[in-house]
Structure 1
Amino acid sequence: MNVTYLIPLILIGGLTSAGVYLLLERNLTRMLLGLLLTGNAVNLLILTVGGPSGNPPIRGRTSDGETMTADPLAQGMILTAIVISMGIAAFVLALTYRSYRLSREEDVANDLEDTRVSQRSDFALDEDRPEHVPSKDTDAPDELDALPGHEGSR
């Protein structure tokens, strides 16, 4: 593998891991930063996978004697992803501001109703679980042994 491709991949891996780590926090600002880092890592991945650089995708233009034309699809996808991520960032910032104005906290707390339902469902599962279920697999012949083609039917 060429070192030219290894450095961007290490950078993409570092950005992705830092972004996922920040997304798992309960602080809304850190969650937003994690979202942005992960989005930038995906943009770099698209750019890296997009192929080598080349001539601009404009008829009659050349740059530094390149023989191939660059693929404009990767750049268009990244531009679209940047616009979408800025919209999501603005939305999350608005949610963070609203949450801070309402509760003066930036950390996301557990929802009391979700906790109650979760505990109730765990209790219901424990009630429905039988204490001991005897194993039905024995060496004695049973009705399945009488099926045609089965050794127990002889």
Structure 2
Amino acid sequence: MSGYVLATTVGVLFALGTFLILRRDLLRVVWGITLYSQAANVYLMTMGGIAEAGFEVVPVLAHHGEGAPETTDPLVQALVLTAIVISFGMTAFALVLTFRVYEENATIDVSELGGGR
């Protein structure tokens, strides 16, 4: 059941990100790219495996041999955590650039920022 919920969540995030990227407002474009990043992170976490309620989540090297409980992949979790931090930094940078564009041009409408044409 949780696979369907996560698949729906990823689909909704990608759809909303696409909707925002296609807007004329530069701020909405930045938020759309941020939603794409979060959708990719949720997708990677889903593909890395989810521990079901009956399984014990333990570190990978805690038990060796047969009878060890199934675990989720910690590498995927570490990579997604790194991607979240990088995404946060890039979003902050994009928002500062958007503010700078607004200061220079008094608008954040993408169609009006077409290089002075």
User: What TM-score results when the alignment is normalised by the length of structure 1?
Assistant: 0.63
SS for the counterpart of 2:6 is: helix
* 1:32 counterpart (30, 33, 37): 30
Q: Which amino acid aligns with 1:22?
A: L
Task: Name the counterpart of 1:146.
Answer: none
Give the Å deviation of 1:46.
Answer: 0.5
Give the Å deviation of 1:26.
Answer: 2.1
Task: Name the counterpart of 2:89.
Answer: 87
Q: Which amino acid aligns with 1:26?
A: R
Aligned residue pair count: 107
C-alpha contact (below 8 Å) 1:24/1:31 kept by paired residues: yes
- 5+ unaligned residues in a row in structure 2: which ranges? none
Correspondence 1:6 to 2:10 = no
C-alpha contact (below 8 Å) 1:57/1:71 kept by paired residues: no
Cα RMSD of the aligned pairs, angstroms, is 1.9
Deviates more, 1:20-29 or 1:41-50: 20-29
CA–CA distance in structure 1, aligned partners of residues 100 and 58 of structure 2: 45
CA–CA distance in structure 1, aligned partners of residues 72 and 9 of structure 2: 23
User: What TM-score results when the alignment is normalised by the length of structure 2?
Assistant: 0.80
Give the Å deviation of 1:70.
Answer: 2.1
Q: Which amino acid aligns with 2:58?
A: P
CA–CA distance in structure 2, aligned partners of residues 19 and 102 of structure 1: 27
**Larger Rg: 1 or 2?**
1
Matches within 5 A, 1:36-51: 36-51=34-49
Matches within 5 A, 1:48-59: 48-53=46-51, 54-57=56-59, 59=61
CA–CA distance in structure 2, aligned partners of residues 70 and 45 of structure 1: 14
CA–CA distance in structure 1, aligned partners of residues 84 and 22 of structure 2: 22
CA–CA distance in structure 2, aligned partners of residues 51 and 58 of structure 1: 13
Query: What is the aligned-residue identity percentage?
Result: 36
Q: Which amino acid aligns with 1:52?
A: I
CA–CA distance in structure 2, aligned partners of residues 46 and 18 of structure 1: 18
Correspondence 1:67 to 2:65 = no
Task: Name the counterpart of 1:99.
Answer: 101
